[in-house]
Amino acid sequence: MSATDVFAPAKINLTLHVTGQRDDGYHLLDSLVVFAPVGDRLRLTPDGALSLQVDGPEAAGVPSDGSNLVLRAARMAGQESGQITLTKQLPASAGIGGGSSDAAAVLRALGRDVPPEQIAQLGADVPMCMKPRPQRVQGIGEQLSVAAIPSLPALLVNPRVSVPTPSVFKALRDKTNPPMPETLPKFADRSDCIDWLATQRNDLQVPAMMLTPAVGVVLEALHTLPGTRLARMSGSGATCFALFDDTEAMRFAEISLRAAHPDWWIASGLLGDQVQKSAPSMATQEA
């Protein structure tokens, strides 16, 4: 039988408002999420017992045992056989949902009906990664609604410092912050969308910068690039994104950033574009 290839795109939180905290400690969110044409790749081959091999430029430190979200998702879907190869392109613990997107990609590939409550048990980011398209995410990550966002030329930048999500939530002082407007604006064009995004927030950015000063260094570097319209952190960090008016401005900024910071993980491409299953167009560079 033939192998199945799936693409697990990076998730970017364009906004991330923390609006409250539940009794169980989980935080209530209001977030605008898009996906990038850079991501991990998975190959599922139907032979043998269920197994996982992890390779690729970002494989170091990613577990290949039963704790990997890929195996947890496959088992949750009732899969008992087949070899899975996970090729990591996304840095781990980076705020771009690497493991969550991998888990969602496996569930998509297996095509079994797994109840949403079970999918959410794999991680708060997994439900939003099931259908990688622009969406508004509320609740603790389980309430999803489709959003209309123009494609956004972006740089994604990680300073190669991993940030554990729980410590960033813990370091957030004010847990109750304003949500996004109940109805999101209808954006006339890309520029209008970026202007509006600039009025919104990522409430985890300040605590992440306090815990991990490298986040502030990345944001400063992105702010000073030519053509940056908006720079912000994604998720709980440390990956940050910068948005540009067009792909030319994005590429120009990318060249300058790569020259200044050859040790950073840098990717570029159109956020929110229909993510291609097998032909991602985002360029990445290894350290």
Ligand X SMILES: Nc1ncnc2c1ncn2[C@@H]1O[C@H](COP(=O)(O)OP(=O)(O)OP(=O)(O)O)[C@@H](O)[C@H]1O
Q: Does 97 bind ligand X (CB under 6 A)?
A: yes
Q: Which helix (H) or strand (E) holds 219?
A: helix 213-223
Joined together, the tokens standing for residue 74 give: 């496959």
Buried b (16+ CB within 10 A) or exposed e, 261-287: beebbbbbbbbbbebeeeebebebeee
Yes or no: say if 100 and 132 are a contact pair by the CB < 8 Å rule: no
Work out whether 35 is an interface residue with ligand CDM (CB under 6 A): no
**Is 61 marked as a binding-site residue?**
no
Which of 4, 19, 26, 63 touches ligand CDM by CB under 6 A?
A: 26
Q: How far apart are CA 222 and CA 106, in angstroms?
A: 34
Decide: is 135 part of the binding site for ligand CDM (CB under 6 A).
no
Ligand-binding annotation for 99, yes or no, is yes
- Is residue 203 at the binding interface for ligand X, with CB under 6 A as the rule? no
Q: Is 185 annotated as a binding residue?
A: no
Antiparallel, parallel or unpaired: β 240-243 and 152-158: antiparallel
Residues 37-96 binding ligand X (CB under 6 A) are 62-63, 67-70, 86, 92-96
Restricted to residues 216-245, the positions that interact with ligand X (CB under 6 A) are 235-236
Scanning 26-34, 37-45, 180-188, 255-263 for contacts with ligand CDM by CB under 6 A, the matching segment is 26-34
Active-site residue identified among 40, 125, 203, 273: 125
11, 30, 102, 203: the active-site residue: 11
Listed residue (222, 218, 224) closest to 238, CA to CA: 218
Tokens 């197994």 sit on residue: 51
- Choosing from 30, 58, 102, 125, the residue that interacts with ligand CDM (CB under 6 A) is 125
Distance, in Å, from the CA atom of 47 to the CA atom of 92, rounded to the nearest integer, reads: 28
Does position 273 interact with ligand X (CB under 6 A)? The reply is no
| Nearest-approach distance from CB 251 to ligand X, in angstroms | 26
Asked whether residue 115 is marked as a ligand-binding residue, the answer is no
DSSP, residue by residue, 19-63:
EEE-TTSPEEEEEEEEEEEEEEEEEEEEEEE-EEEEESTT-TT--
170 is catalytic: no
Q: Is 13 in the site for ligand CDM (CB under 6 A)?
A: yes
Is residue 207 near ligand X by the rule CB under 6 A? no
200 interacts with ligand CDM by CB under 6 A: no
How far apart, in whole angstroms, are the C-alpha atoms of residue 202 and residue 238? Answer: 12
Residue with Cβ nearer ligand CDM (141 or 207): 141
Residue 99: partners with Cβ closer than 8 Å, 6 or more residues away = 68, 69, 70, 92, 123
By the criterion CB under 6 A, which residues form the site for ligand X?
62-63, 67-70, 86, 92-100, 102, 125, 165, 235-236
Q: Which residues are annotated as a binding site for ATP?
A: 91-101
Any idea which residues carry the catalytic annotation? Answer: 11, 125
